[in-house]
Structures are given as C-alpha cells and as structure tokens.
C-alpha cells in the first residue's frame, strides 16, 4: 500500500466504519428507491380508481386523470342489470373462489405432506410425473376439458358453477412443490417425537405439520382464492350463457369493441369492486407474513 493511501485511509474508514453514518446513508438510498418504486406500482392502481369515478365513460380522454368526478358508474354497474349483470357475476365468482380456496389448500397440504414426510412406493415417480405434466401447455387441455364436462352433463347453465369449481380445484394437487419445499425445512425430529408419543401419521399431519406451515398455507389460500378471479380462458370456454359469467369474463366483455365506449368507466368501477374483497383478504392475511412468523420452528 502506498503512503498516499495510508493518509487517506483513516478518513474513508471512519466513514465506512462509522456504523451510524453508514446506516443512515444506506437508509436514505433505500427510502429513495422504495419511494420511486412505490409510485410506479401505485400509479396504475390509482389511475383505475380515479377513472372509476370519471364522468366521461369512454376509454380515451384528453387528460391523464379525469377532470370531473361522479358516483354514477358504481350505481349504474349495480342497477343496470339487463345488459351485463355484474352483481350476479360477482356472486358467482365469490362462491367459486371460496370453494376452490378450501379444496385446493386441502389438496396441496395432503400431497405435500405425503411427498415430504412419508416414504411410499411410487413417490419419486409421482414427483417426476407431476413435473412432466406441468410442462404441457394448459391451454391445450381447455377445449378437451369442455368436451369432458359435456360428457359428464355438467355444461348446462344450472351446473356451470359446479363445473367451474371442479375444474379449478381438481388439478390443484399438482401445485405441491413450494409447500413441499417448505415442509422439507421442518426438522423431522418433531415428527419422530410425536410418533414416539403415540401419534399416528394423520395426527402428525393435523397437529404438527399444519400449524407449523401456517405462512405457506396463507400463501396457498391466496393463490387458490385468486384462481377464479384471474382466469378467464377456462371460464370463457365453459360459461356459455351470460348469467353464469364470472366477474373476470364480465369485465373482459366490457372492454370488447361493442361495449367499450359506454362501459369503460364502469369497467374501472367493476375492477375496483373486485379488488376490494381480495384486498381485504390480503390485509387480513398479511399479518402472517410479519417477522413473528419467521421460521417453521424457533429456537
């Protein structure tokens, strides 16, 4: 090291080694970054929200944010039910989502527990099989699924809801990989202790693994609940009559060429209405992601 740098070192070191200054410097950078990113992430959300109160109902306006605000879009969305019956679509989706959420969490937990904790013949085969299955494009099966439902007499307008629940939740067991990864990090000593105390494997599953997996269950529940709100390809093929539309299908319909000029503001209102149950759910579930839940097993 040269003499020159010898002189310079104490100062720079004092800056870098001064924990407090370094931390404040880092914090400022972090807050600036987070601030900019939050604007990017919030902007479209805020835009839809404001657009839903826009007095002009068309899609392309001369200003970025609306100039006049009104509550009409919401009122019309829920009262003018003869063209697109949004309240009904909303309820359809909510019902489907609740069922899919429960069933898919149960399926994923069961499969993940078996794969992670139990050793049985065909286990490796099943894992590889599901992995291979996931590589087939899902869209490929959509038309085929419709034919299968038709063969099962489930495509009438009275059974469409049931058909959708079936379709969304049936294959969910294949999404066990993340949950299994989580369970793999739980020490097996817990299971062994419980088995020594006389627990059956079923009891180990319900009394130990499920409580420990809470954060991941939350994640899975969100995924399951969101499926019917997000999907519209499957719904589009299966729902043939408008009374059975899911909310996503209805919203998509509002942006089609024949509707968009009158319905764009109502589309925004509908989007806000859909986001509300999901947001509430999300805030409730958020607390599971706080640091208090850190670690499958503490200590």
Partner 1 sequence: MSATTLSPRAARKARRLGADYIPPSPYTLKNALTKGDVWTKLSILVFGLGNIMRKQIVKGLLLFAGEVLFILFMIFSGAYNLSMLPSLGDREQVQVKDADGFLHFEAGDNSVVLLLYGVATIAICLVFVAWWVMSIRSAYKAQCEAKTEGHASTLVDDLKALLNQRASATLMFLPILGILTFTVLPLIFMISMAFTNYDHNHLVLFDWDGFAAFKEVFFNSSSTVNGKLFLSVLSWTLVWAFFATFLNFFFGLFLAMILNRRTTRGKNVWRAIFSMSIAVPQFVSLLVMSQMLQPDGAINRLLKNWGLIETSLPFLTDATWARVTVIIVNLWVGIPYTIMQVTGILQNIPVDLYEAARIDGANWWQTFTKITMPYIFFVLTPYLITTFTGNVNNFNVIFLLTKGDPTPTDASAGKTDLLITWLYKLTVDKNDYNLGAVIGILTFIVLAIVSLITYRSSGSYKNEEGFR
CA dihedral sign of residues 161, 163, 166, 167: negative
- Answer yes or no whether residue 253 interacts with partner 1 by CB under 8 A: no
Instruction: Indicate the residue among 7 and 140 with the shorter CB distance to partner 1.
Output: 140
No. of helices (H) and no. of strands (E), the chain: 15, 0
**Do residues 246 and 239 make contact, with C-beta atoms less than 8 angstroms apart?**
yes
- Answer yes or no whether residue 143 interacts with partner 1 by CB under 8 A: yes
Of 127, 137, 110, 119, which is closest to residue 217 (Cα–Cα)? Answer: 110
10-69 residues in contact with partner 1 (CB under 8 A) are 23, 26-27, 30, 33-34, 37-38, 40-42, 44-45, 47-48, 59-64
Out of 10, 16, 71, 187, point to the residue binding partner 1 (CB under 8 A).
Answer: 187
Distance CA 97, CA 91 (A): 10
Shortest Cβ 232–partner 1 spacing (Å): 6
Shortest Cβ 276–partner 1 spacing (Å): 8
SS3 state of residue 119? coil
Shortest Cβ 254–partner 1 spacing (Å): 9
210-249 residues in contact with partner 1 (CB under 8 A) are 215-216, 219, 222, 226, 229-230, 232-233, 237, 248
SS3 state of residue 235? helix
Out of 94, 141, 194, 210, point to the residue binding partner 1 (CB under 8 A).
Answer: 141
Shortest Cβ 77–partner 1 spacing (Å): 14
**Do residues 235 and 226 make contact, with C-beta atoms less than 8 angstroms apart?**
no
Binding-residue total with partner 1 (CB under 8 A): 105
Out of 75, 118, 193, 284, point to the residue binding partner 1 (CB under 8 A).
Answer: 118
Distance CA 135, CA 132 (A): 5
Strand partners, 69: 54
Instruction: Indicate the residue among 2 and 189 with the shorter CB distance to partner 1.
Output: 189
With 0-12 CB in 10 A as exposed, 13-18 as middle and 19+ as buried, what is 141?
middle
67-106 residues in contact with partner 1 (CB under 8 A) are none
259-298 residues in contact with partner 1 (CB under 8 A) are 264, 267-268, 271, 274-275, 278-279, 282-283, 286, 289-291, 293-296
Read off the DSSP letter of residue 54.
B
Quick one: the chain helix, strand, coil %, rounded to 5? Answer: 75, 0, 25
- Answer yes or no whether residue 125 interacts with partner 1 by CB under 8 A: no
Distance CA 54, CA 50 (A): 7
- Answer yes or no whether residue 256 interacts with partner 1 by CB under 8 A: no
Shortest Cβ 206–partner 1 spacing (Å): 10
Instruction: Indicate the residue among 77 and 274 with the shorter CB distance to partner 1.
Output: 274
Strand partners, 54: 69
Instruction: Indicate the residue among 83 and 255 with the shorter CB distance to partner 1.
Output: 255
């Amino acid at each position: 090291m040269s003499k020159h740098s010898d002189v310079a070192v104490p100062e720079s070191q004092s800056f870098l080694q001064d924990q407090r200054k370094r931390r404040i410097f880092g914090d400022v950078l972090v807050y600036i970054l987070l601030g900019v990113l939050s604007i990017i992430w919030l902007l479209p959300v805020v835009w839809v929200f404001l657009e839903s109160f826009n007095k002009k109902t068309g899609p392309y306006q001369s200003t970025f944010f609306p100039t006049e605000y009104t509550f009409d879009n919401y009122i019309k969305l829920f009262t003018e039910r003869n063209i697109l019956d949004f309240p009904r679509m909303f309820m359809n989706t909510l019902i489907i989502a609740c069922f899919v959420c429960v069933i898919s969490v149960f399926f994923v937990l069961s499969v993940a527990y078996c794969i992670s904790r139990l050793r049985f013949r065909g286990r490796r085969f099943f894992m590889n099989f599901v992995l291979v299955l996931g590589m087939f494009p899902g869209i490929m099966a959509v038309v085929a699924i419709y034919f299968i439902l038709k063969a099962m007499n489930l495509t009438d307008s009275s059974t469409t809801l049931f058909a959708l629940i079936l379709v969304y939740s049936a294959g969910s067991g294949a999404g066990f990989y993340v949950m299994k990864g989580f369970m793999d990090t739980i020490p097996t000593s817990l299971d062994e202790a419980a088995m020594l105390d006389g627990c059956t494997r079923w009891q180990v599953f319900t009394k130990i693994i499920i409580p420990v997996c809470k954060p991941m269950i939350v994640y899975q529940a969100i995924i399951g609940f969101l499926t019917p709100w997000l999907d519209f390809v499957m719904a589009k093929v299966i729902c043939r009559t408008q009374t059975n539309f899911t909310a996503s299908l209805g919203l998509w319909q509002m942006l089609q060429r024949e509707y968009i000029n009158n319905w764009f503001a109502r589309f925004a209102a509908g989007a806000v209405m859909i986001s509300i149950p999901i947001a509430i759910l999300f805030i409730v579930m958020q607390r599971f992601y706080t640091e208090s839940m850190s670690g499958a097993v503490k200590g």
